[in-house]
């Protein structure tokens, strides 16, 4: 053979080898298949239900052989900006010479345990991009992230750095997004995705999810339904700016790009540094969002939520009862109320700190984490001790990332605050009026000294009071007046480095205080992402505790979040609803109270005490990830949800009538998730003192088959009526 023929032969073998590279990523029910094409590009060839015969993988068409794309190279797993693809790219890098493009080619891949790693490289520039896929087989969740490394001298900027690109082909696509606002979190909204782009994103930095939440659902072939149909459910684990782009291309292929929002975040990446993107998590259900939610909740409980296997504490919070108006005497009296109620913990909220500028309202004191002497002369240790004497644990509110301009901290360390530079340093010849959200500013967590300070807020309290069991970590302001005095010329890094700074602080807190329970709060549910919950044991869903609104908010969060993490408190919001109704709604989550007990009637107080006992008895079922949403508040004037224990021996049904229409025909509610052949006793619990259940199914025994096929009547024609029903295998 001549040398030329030999070379050609080698080339043929190599091309065959490369085109045959198939990477299969599987969970119990889902399969993602990537192939390397003849141009060494990594392409998605399949994403759907797991194929039974793995030999069928060879039948999957390479994208250029038939699947639709404007990109001549196929449906690239990580398409780049500026070369062939006409659509939203995942990756953009501006090299030191100003070239804004790259072409990423397959280099190698490896699969170890549940993790797959694919290395891509640009042949012209020293840029390496590694795609990671981690599967959680039983929960059917796939995690994706990317690592970007560059070895160029000079300034290299990342313009885009998504975590994931997924492609789908279906006759129609319907997006469900989770619109939000203060007191209006997780409002589910649906729309058909047509040709072009729909972006769901946040640019608020801190309190990043105030206006929209980092979750989505896409019905493939029709609107997402509860128990039928193919649906993609995804979320970004990032406690900051996120972005999901849904783009239907010219061939009606849906492209879903997920990652940190690159908007206003052109990131300067130093030579040798590795940029790790956020984690994107998704599940693909063939049986509607109900199945997807159970998968996400189970995954949160098994792999993600901090202290997921540990218990949670019921609590009494003083915020809506006293606001800033409290002193030692008032608090000690409230410890007594907490004890009388039977909760595990008293949570002292905002307003306990600041001396030069006492925190008597939200205009001053934030940043000065010393107890206000004339309000609480014996300090926090006295409160912890008194709580203990009353048989309750003690928890405390902090907002350590923030500062009021009226504070000693702001006077001492103006350079620690995210704030636009003055006219002198900007050279712009004039000062821009700062914008204050809730009269406060955000500390510059890009700065390691600030990270130390923020860690020190927790550490200081814990050193002084090792018996503090719980902290509520609030974050009321988005990042405003965006400029980091620490980063100076790399301002594009601020949104990303802020979150990294936050994680570094939270890592330290978790390492030093692994037993501390922490609530993630952000002016209600302005922070609610799944990576945040690696550090927090629970989160505050919303300041809105009107039980009717909460039915919607909890319905929304339950699409992804486990009940154990969702703080739900009984308050004064909507006093038209009885205490029973308010409590029965909060019973669905992690139960707490934020209400003055003195204002309640004896019966109401008695109801609360008994319901707390029942909650403690049943919490393992309440927190089970086996959630069945049976009747949607979005579809009428009722809401019914059901939880089932893993062994199907125990279940709870929560039924609520909101404002039923006159003469409305009431249907049976068919239960789910039970054993067909088993017999179950149905019993209404949590009745008001002296009341009997009037449900016709009460105290009867049915087969699981009957309960699931015929169902029982748990809704009524009356306003604001609720029932909690226990279903026990005989």
Judged by the rule CB under 6 A, the positions of this chain that interact with ligand DGJ are 319, 349-350, 397, 474, 476, 521, 523-524, 540, 543
Q: What's the min distance (Å) between Cβ of 524 and ligand DGJ?
A: 5
d(CA 539, CA 304): 14
- Nearer of residues 280 and 319 to ligand DGJ, judged by Cβ: 319
Q: What's the min distance (Å) between Cβ of 453 and ligand DGJ?
A: 20
Q: Please, what is the end-to-end C-alpha distance for the chain in angstroms?
A: 81
- Nearer of residues 319 and 573 to ligand DGJ, judged by Cβ: 319
Residue 90, classed as helix, strand or coil, is coil
Q: What's the min distance (Å) between Cβ of 470 and ligand DGJ?
A: 13
Q: What's the min distance (Å) between Cβ of 397 and ligand DGJ?
A: 6
Q: What's the min distance (Å) between Cβ of 338 and ligand DGJ?
A: 17
Residue 549, classed as helix, strand or coil, is helix
- Nearer of residues 497 and 543 to ligand DGJ, judged by Cβ: 543
Q: φ and ψ at 596, to 5 degrees?
A: -80, 120
Q: What's the min distance (Å) between Cβ of 542 and ligand DGJ?
A: 8
Which residues, listed in sequence order, are joined to residue 346 by a DSSP beta bridge? 316, 394
Residue corresponding to tokens 């090299």: 95
Q: What's the min distance (Å) between Cβ of 443 and ligand DGJ?
A: 17
Q: φ and ψ at 654, to 5 degrees?
A: -110, 120
- Nearer of residues 109 and 359 to ligand DGJ, judged by Cβ: 359
Instruction: Please answer whether residues 685 and 726 qualify as being in contact, where contact means their C-beta atoms are separated by less than 8 angstroms.
Output: yes
- Nearer of residues 234 and 354 to ligand DGJ, judged by Cβ: 354
Residue corresponding to tokens 């020190």: 456
Q: What's the min distance (Å) between Cβ of 474 and ligand DGJ?
A: 5
- Nearer of residues 321 and 493 to ligand DGJ, judged by Cβ: 321
Instruction: Please answer whether residues 720 and 655 qualify as being in contact, where contact means their C-beta atoms are separated by less than 8 angstroms.
Output: no
Residue 253, classed as helix, strand or coil, is strand
d(CA 687, CA 698): 12
Q: What's the min distance (Å) between Cβ of 399 and ligand DGJ?
A: 7
Cα Dmax for the chain:
100
User: Which residue, among 104, 166, 101, has the nearest Cα to 130 in the 3D structure?
Assistant: 104
Q: Where are the alpha helices (DSSP H) in 311-366?
A: 319-322, 328-341
| DSSP state, residue 287 | B
- Nearer of residues 559 and 571 to ligand DGJ, judged by Cβ: 571
- Nearer of residues 344 and 543 to ligand DGJ, judged by Cβ: 543
Q: What residue is closest to ligand DGJ based on CB?
A: 350
Q: What's the min distance (Å) between Cβ of 553 and ligand DGJ?
A: 13
- Reading the block at residue 634, the tokens are 């979005």
- Nearer of residues 76 and 474 to ligand DGJ, judged by Cβ: 474
Find the helix or strand (DSSP H, E) in which 236 lies.
Answer: strand 230-237
- Nearer of residues 63 and 523 to ligand DGJ, judged by Cβ: 523
Find all residues with CB under 8 Å of 582, minimum gap 6, and list them. Answer: 545, 547, 570, 571, 573, 574
Instruction: Please answer whether residues 62 and 37 qualify as being in contact, where contact means their C-beta atoms are separated by less than 8 angstroms.
Output: yes
Residue 332, classed as helix, strand or coil, is helix
d(CA 526, CA 186): 10
Residue 68, classed as helix, strand or coil, is coil
């Amino acid at each position: 053979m001549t040398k030329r023929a030999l070379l050609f032969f080698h080339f043929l073998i190599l091309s065959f080898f490369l085109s045959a590279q198939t990477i299969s990523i599987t969970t119990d029910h889902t399969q993602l298949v990537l192939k390397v094409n003849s141009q060494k590009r990594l392409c998605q060839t399949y994403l759907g239900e797991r194929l039974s015969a793995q030999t069928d993988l060879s039948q999957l068409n390479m994208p250029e052989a038939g699947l639709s794309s404007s990109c001549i190279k196929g449906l690239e797993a990580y398409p780049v900006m500026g070369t062939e693809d006409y659509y939203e790219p995942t990756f953009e890098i501006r090299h030191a010479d100003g070239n804004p493009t790259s072409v990423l080619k397959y280099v190698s891949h490896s699969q170890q345990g549940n993790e797959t790693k694919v290395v891509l490289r640009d042949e012209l520039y020293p840029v390496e991009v590694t795609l990671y896929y981690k599967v959680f087989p039983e929960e059917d969740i796939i995690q994706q992230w990317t690592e970007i490394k560059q070895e160029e001298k000079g300034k290299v900027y990342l313009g885009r750095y998504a975590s994931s690109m997924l492609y789908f082909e279906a006759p129609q696509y319907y997006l469900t997004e989770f619109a939000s606002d203060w007191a209006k979190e997780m409002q589910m909204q649906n729309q058909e995705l047509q040709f072009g782009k729909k972006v769901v994103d946040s640019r608020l930095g801190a309190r990043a999810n105030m206006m929209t939440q980092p979750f989505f659902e896409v019905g493939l072939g029709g609107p997402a339904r509860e128990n039928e149909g193919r649906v993609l459910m995804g979320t970004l684990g990032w406690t900051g700016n996120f972005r999901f782009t849904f783009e239907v291309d010219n061939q009606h292929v849906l492209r879903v790009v997920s990652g940190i929002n690159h908007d206003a975040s052109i990131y300067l990446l130093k030579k040798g540094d590795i940029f790790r993107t956020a984690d994107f998590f998704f599940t693909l259900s063939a049986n509607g969002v109900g199945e997807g939610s159970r998968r996400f909740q189970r995954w949160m409980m098994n792999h993600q939520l901090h202290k997921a296997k540990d218990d949670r504490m019921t609590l009494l919070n003083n915020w809506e009862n006293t606001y800033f108006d409290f002193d030692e005497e008032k608090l000690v009296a409230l410890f007594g109320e907490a004890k009388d109620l039977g909760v595990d913990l008293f949570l002292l909220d905002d307003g306990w700190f600041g001396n030069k500028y006492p925190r008597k309202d939200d205009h001053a004191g934030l940043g000065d984490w010393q107890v206000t002497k004339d309000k609480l002369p014996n300090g926090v240790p006295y409160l912890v001790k008194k709580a203990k004497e009353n048989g309750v644990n003690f928890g405390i509110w902090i907002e350590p990332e923030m500062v009021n301009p009226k504070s000693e901290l702001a006077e001492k360390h103006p350079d620690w605050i995210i704030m636009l530079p003055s006219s002198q340093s900007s050279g712009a010849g004039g000062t821009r009026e700062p914008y204050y959200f809730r009269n406060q500013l955000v500390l510059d967590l890009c700065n390691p000294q600030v990270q130390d300070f923020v860690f020190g807020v927790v550490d200081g309290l814990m050193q002084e009071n090792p018996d503090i069991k719980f902290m509520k970590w609030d974050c009321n302001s988005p990042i405003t007046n965006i400029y980091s005095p620490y980063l100076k010329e790399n301002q594009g890094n601020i949104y990303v480095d802020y979150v990294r700074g936050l994680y570094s602080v939270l890592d330290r807190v978790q390492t030093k205080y692994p037993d501390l329970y922490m609530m993630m709060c952000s002016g209600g549910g302005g922070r609610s992402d799944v990576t945040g919950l690696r550090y927090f044991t629970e989160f505050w869903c919303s300041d809105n505790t009107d039980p009717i609104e909460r039915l919607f908010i909890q319905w929304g969060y339950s699409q992804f979040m486990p009940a154990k993490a969702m703080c739900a408190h009984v308050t004064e919001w909507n006093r038209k609803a009885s205490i029973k109704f308010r409590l029965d709604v909060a019973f669905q989550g992690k139960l707490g109270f934020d209400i003055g007990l003195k204002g309640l009637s004896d019966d109401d107080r008695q109801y609360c005490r008994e319901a707390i006992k029942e909650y403690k008895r049943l919490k393992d079922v309440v927190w089970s990830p086996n959630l069945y949403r049976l009747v949607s508040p979005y579809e009428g004037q009722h809401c019914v949800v059901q939880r089932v224990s893993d062994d199907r021996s125990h279940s709870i049904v929560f039924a609520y009538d909101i404002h039923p229409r006159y003469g409305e025909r009431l249907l049976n509610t068919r239960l789910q998730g039970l054993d067909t052949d088993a017999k179950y006793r149905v019993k209404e619990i949590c009745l008001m003192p002296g009341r009997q259940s009037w449900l016709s199914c009460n105290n009867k025994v049915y087969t699981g088959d009957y309960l699931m096929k015929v169902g029982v009547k748990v809704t009524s024609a009356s306003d604001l009526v609720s029932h909690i029903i226990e279903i026990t295998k005989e």
